[in-house]
Structure 1
Amino acid sequence: MGHRTIRRRASRLIGFALGFLALLAPLPAQAWGFFAHTVTGDIALANIRPETRAAMERLFRAEALLGTPECDLATLQDATVWPDCVRRSRWRWGHTAAWHYRTTPICEPYNPRRNCPGGNCILAQIDRNQRILADESLPANVRLQALAFMVHFVGDVHMPLHHGDKDDRGGNDREADYGIAPGLNLHWIWDGPLAERAITSAQPSLVRHYSAAERAELAGGTSADWGRESWQISRDWVYPTAFDTEEVCERELPGATKLTQEDIRQSIPVSQRRVTQAGLRMARLLDEAFAPGPLPEPQRN
């Protein structure tokens, strides 16, 4: 075998290894991973009214008016990830960064008004953008932008660590191994690989039409309720499981940990339920926004 052949094969092996490691590397915290977000859109599409689907398709025709050619917004799946795409242009969309989360300390009493100055948090923006979407007097491109923000934030609020926090930016500052995959962080694990495994292993598929009884169980509540759920899951499950202690508020947690295969297995149903709830609640908000007449006044907590 010639030296050139050896070098070529070695280069391919090195390239493969680097590519694999890149997949394991922690990414900047944005939201639920691309896959989980688009699946919430698929669930919503399987459960919205035909009239809602038709109204959305008409609205997507305004895509060109948004001035974001680098970020597609022609389908509901596009909409679920569009806000993460446009925020890369910080000069134009940087003001939306705080809309993707609402860090709430898990070791203090839950306060729905905390950390949302001027409505710049995920809960306020879900409600705000639904009302913009429902207002037929507004230009189509304004309503389309609101649709994308609303559906994306519905996904985000169901990821527990976009709401719960233990002085670590929602788990971003806690290095964590995911089984045999090293060097991730706790936030990214719940955003990406755990959510993806939960979705792909679900039986039956999470993407399906749900019965009225299932929707009644899973699709209810307000954005404030959904945020409280994520905060509670972070407090009662995410941190205790990651650090093998029920005393997460009584002790200083280490900066690094490891999720074992058993931790992952037990967390999958939690993630599956959150993805399902996000999709069904998204469908409900879309049906409400496109229904005739004004939206009801928001509930006050």
Structure 2
Amino acid sequence: MLRRLLFCAGLLAAFALPSSAFAWGKAGHRLVAELAVPDLKPQVRAEIDGLLAGESEPTLPGVAAWADELRERDPDLGRRSARWHYVNIGESGCRYDAARDCANGDCVVGALKAQAAILGDRRRPRAERVNALKFVVHFVGDAHQPMHAGYAHDRGGNTRQINFRGRGTNLHSFWDSGMLNSLGLSGDAWLARLRARAPSVDRGPVLPPRAEAWVETSCRIATRSGVYPTRARIDEAYVQRHLPLAEQQLRDAGARLAAILNATLER
């Protein structure tokens, strides 16, 4: 009976969470930031170091999950930024339309552009630019998490319950961290694995961030055949089939984050 009650409580908690509650998981966001760091230009890295001075972990990886922690750190900013983590375009054939999908800039595409502009404006107060840097690092990762651009009807897979290796979770959480954790690799091993991949090549200007294209790609992954299993129980074959897509998204997010920061902060 106790196990049943705990399981039900877990399900209720999962359904209560907003679709921004998970975003690659803390480890995934750190990986995106870690991948970006070696590609930063020296003067850009120096400015980032200056902006992050005083943080408990004053590095890009150290602040990568900050935006997901705002509900506890700063509830007001957490509420205001809740919709900035995602955009639901699965029901629209994965075609992004700003007027329809991002009214008042309240989606990951609009938020990333706005925060990159704040970060690059040296007339802004330092505190605003510090927060903007943290948001940019985080939102580049979010834009590449397929479920953050998926269907609205199930809140990006948050209400789609699945079972993997005898444990219940939801599809969104499984794409955030469940597949990554299934390999049992350390952070360093994951970093080496991802660095061995070649990032996709972007064409066109770096600024403003080309997040429209990124979320459309993410959406096409989230809605492709087989991503939503026909049964609640999924197996190792599901991981083998879909994990390479998640890995490529993480790799691309790291490369694009570096490009955005270099273009935004280069003097």
1:227-280 deviations in Å (ceiling 9; x for gaps): 10011111225xx23325xxxxxxxxxxx6222110111111111100101111
CA distance in 2, matches of 1:198, 1:51: 37
- Give TM-score, length-normalised by structure 2: 0.82
The number of residue pairs the alignment matches comes to: 244
1:96-147 deviations in Å (ceiling 9; x for gaps): 1010111113464623323211101100011111111111111221111100
Task: Tell me whether 1:242 sits opposite 2:228 in the alignment.
Answer: yes
RMSD, aligned CA: 2.7
> 1:198–1:269: 8 Å Cα contact kept in structure 2?
no
Match 1:51 to one of 27, 43, 60: 43
> 1:107–1:235: 8 Å Cα contact kept in structure 2?
no
Deviation at 1:60, TM superposition (A): 1.2
Task: Tell me whether 1:155 sits opposite 2:130 in the alignment.
Answer: no
Higher mean C-alpha displacement, 280-289 vs 196-205: 196-205
> 1:105–1:164: 8 Å Cα contact kept in structure 2?
yes
Structure-2 change in CA distance of 1:45 and 1:204 (3 Å): closer
Match 1:226 to one of 206, 211, 214: 214
Structure-2 change in CA distance of 1:123 and 1:289 (3 Å): same
> 1:197–1:268: 8 Å Cα contact kept in structure 2?
no
Unaligned runs of 5+ in 2: 1-5, 205-209
- Counterpart code for 2:133: L
Q: Paired residue for 1:138?
A: 124
State the identity as a percent. 28
Deviation above 6 Å: which 4+ runs of structure 1? none
> 2:34–2:191: 8 Å Cα contact kept in structure 1?
no
- Counterpart code for 1:288: A
Task: Tell me whether 1:97 sits opposite 2:82 in the alignment.
Answer: yes
> 1:106–1:235: 8 Å Cα contact kept in structure 2?
no
Computing the radius of gyration over CA atoms, which structure comes out larger, 1 or 2?
Answer: 1
> 1:82–1:148: 8 Å Cα contact kept in structure 2?
yes
Task: Tell me whether 1:176 sits opposite 2:162 in the alignment.
Answer: yes
- Give TM-score, length-normalised by structure 1: 0.73
- Counterpart code for 2:193: S
SS at match of 1:87: helix
Q: Paired residue for 1:81?
A: 65
Unaligned runs of 5+ in 1: 1-17, 64-71, 245-255, 293-301
CA distance in 1, matches of 2:35, 2:191: 14
Deviation at 1:78, TM superposition (A): 2.2
